[in-house]
Chain A
């Protein structure tokens, strides 16, 4: 019997319009494929996997791992659809009443998940003291109410749970005893210091739990269909990976993984560590900046469908220009024919003038039947394409923060809309495999672990506290699937707590490592 070496990785990016996939051997891209995203999750992934197999034959047993980045969860929040009815229990009384749960949510989203907020006694002070003892009877009453309402997913937050998780766990135990079927999301496992923002991310996580089960099962079915038995991982917002069980419990961690993947993929393909990345998809153009190989983080609070969270997200500016953007006169987008591009665009025999048709007519790309756009007025086509280039260049310019020359890496299927030079940016690069940079970003991702907590310095010295935090971050990375010897600390951030006598610091440590994959 021949032992098959498992050396290949598959990266897949499921966007709103396209599903991209790559087959990689180490750093070599063996095959790439672009298919349309389908309403039925499984068949889209199967089509992508079959596409790869026909581009480059491989045995399913050669696959080491499959990494998928998906926008399913982000879209569900943005559209406020497919969400699980969710309750919030905050353990805090008598504190925090002036800002109850979901106080800053858009009505549409709050009502979409049922608007069930409960304030209960509990919470800790910054130093671990109790604000008020937790009252199990109070939680049981909430449980009875949830049972009567048929609510099946619960987010639990408690003041200073990143310092002491005791009450969130206690409340979860009480709830589980009363309602064994209910999904529970605990805020200390999801977010950082900042009660409202952490609680918001926890609620969003909770209302995605059913969808997560559905999506993960559909991905699993797709792999089975084509006979791949390799482990499946999903991309997180920071560009690291999580396994399937983790995804079921923490779907919110997939947010913004798309832009992160495409930027990390662009860095990998171009070999540039400092550049702007322009990712043009079917509907939008996303512009981000890489600093030292990692996406620049957004400085402001991040909106998830209008909800504030303290998730760390890449700093991305978007504009509604993509390959599928509809063209009316000289106006391009923001609406797009999306995944129907290959049916509705003129070059594919359709009846809708799209940005892709202009690119073909303008000689920037050869797609479909150029004869079908030969009748378009040449000078109008050139003028509109020039305007697209100018609009994109303007966005890049807004992301630019210094006068130093900034190379621009252009990726994504829609990047055929851009010429080889942008106004003000002479250095524009379109690396090989540019159309599937996001899938490559998924395929090359590492595994990470993070600690963000307030530590009291006194009993332990500052050095001991730092060591403690680093060890915990490394443990978390390994628990998430990193090969222990490859795990290393990549970020240490230490901030004393303002306006408090110097006995407490907030420490943030991040570790990443190579994915541990069992050899067959």
Chain B
């Protein structure tokens, strides 16, 4: 299988849905990748089993502030520099790259990196959705270290985090980001193909493309059936009454009034992503599952930072990969990791 420029619209749409309200801009990312693929040709998308188990696979992502990325656009070299630097540090050559977060901007940029490096892209990632922290991966659950991790800004300035557990890498990277200009190209989680097969979520990019195809069909035809085929459902349709964005000190909140039953209210807790949905007080969706909002009329995804009162939206829920529902997964990326303390068993 391969990813060609004709697949990018689907990949971008699916990536936005998987962003669960976060994950960053996919429009300019799709333009970037399209240019790269038009120049270098399609990228080969491989299953980890297609590689030699001893082959090195390097994980790539942009890390940091998405609003900043809309302005300080990628130069391109920073991603290649990040991978090459990590290879040099380890004294290995990568045989393939994979995604860390197959959602939002980070579902698209690995395709360009694979093309730039003339390497295949492994159809795998570490999150299966968007999460805010780089240690919120199934790699962490499988004890694959994020370090050594490389961060590169567009000027080529480079930070190498040589060691540390994954939470420490996250902490150190976060501390370095302001000095790097708020976002950086990153190469991290180097692992063998055999480890990818055991540790990673597989089928990530093909799932994003499939979801995107479903979403775009729904946008054109108003057919909503494809959603349930992906295990998703529409939780609520309504108008946004009020939005309080996240602050440095606490979560944001949005309240919605149901379209047909005005007494019925949905409350959404949000940070960079949508985290929790309460329908008249009952939990109907909760991280690690994905809560995504789409415009009622156009079915264009609405990101958390663009949610405004008066918008009419459909609230969708998509299941997270099963590993996020295991105890270790919930501890790392469940409600409590976002400051939401729910009763046992929820």
| Chain A contacts to B: CB under 8 angstroms | 92-99, 103-104, 123, 125-127, 129, 131-132, 159-160, 193-196, 291-292, 296, 299-301, 308, 398-399, 401-403, 454, 493-503, 506
| Chain B contacts to A: CB under 8 angstroms | 22, 24, 27-28, 31-32, 35-36, 64-68, 70-77, 112, 132, 154-156, 174, 177-178, 181-183, 238-239, 245-249, 259-260, 272, 295-298, 300, 302, 304-306, 308, 310-312
The answer to whether A497 touches B155 (Cβ under 8 A) is no
Using Cβ atoms and an 8 Å threshold, which residues of chain B touch A499?
Answer: 22, 64-66, 132, 183, 272
| A-B CB pair tally, cutoff 8 Å | 150
A95, B32: Cα distance in complex, Å: 13
The 4 A-B pairs at the shortest CB distance, nearest first, are namely A502-B248, A401-B312, A95-B154, A98-B76
Contact of A494 among B31, B66, B245 (CB under 8 A): B245
The answer to whether A194 touches B155 (Cβ under 8 A) is no
The answer to whether B74 touches A96 (Cβ under 8 A) is yes
Interface majority SS on A: helix, strand, loop or mixed? Answer: loop
A402, B241: Cα distance in complex, Å: 13
A-B contact pairs, 25 of them (CB 8 A): A94-B75, A95-B155, A96-B73, A96-B75, A98-B35, A98-B36, A123-B72, A159-B72, A160-B71, A193-B67, A193-B70, A195-B73, A291-B310, A401-B296, A401-B297, A493-B308, A496-B245, A497-B68, A498-B66, A498-B305, A499-B65, A499-B132, A499-B272, A502-B249, A503-B178
Using Cβ atoms and an 8 Å threshold, which residues of chain B touch A96?
Answer: 72-75, 154
The answer to whether B305 touches A194 (Cβ under 8 A) is no
The answer to whether A160 touches B76 (Cβ under 8 A) is no
Distance from A358 Cβ to chain B, minimum over Cβ atoms (Å):
30
The answer to whether B77 touches A94 (Cβ under 8 A) is yes
Contact of A403 among B132, B260, B311 (CB under 8 A): B260
A502, B251: Cα distance in complex, Å: 12
Using Cβ atoms and an 8 Å threshold, which residues of chain A touch B312?
Answer: 401-402
Given A159-B71, A498-B272, 17 more A-B residue pairs with CB atoms under 8 Å apart are A92-B73, A95-B72, A95-B73, A95-B74, A95-B154, A99-B32, A103-B35, A127-B182, A129-B181, A195-B72, A299-B306, A398-B297, A401-B239, A403-B259, A495-B67, A495-B305, A503-B248
The answer to whether B74 touches A126 (Cβ under 8 A) is no
The answer to whether B22 touches A498 (Cβ under 8 A) is yes
Using Cβ atoms and an 8 Å threshold, which residues of chain A touch B304?
Answer: 498
The answer to whether B65 touches A498 (Cβ under 8 A) is yes
Known: A94-B156, A403-B260, A497-B65. A299 touches B295 (CB 8 A): yes
Using Cβ atoms and an 8 Å threshold, which residues of chain B touch A301?
Answer: 27
Known: A127-B178, A401-B312. A99 touches B31 (CB 8 A): yes
The answer to whether B67 touches A497 (Cβ under 8 A) is yes
CB closest chain-A residue, reference B261: A403
The answer to whether A501 touches B248 (Cβ under 8 A) is yes
Known: A296-B310, A300-B298. A99 touches B70 (CB 8 A): no
Using Cβ atoms and an 8 Å threshold, which residues of chain B touch A127?
Answer: 178, 182
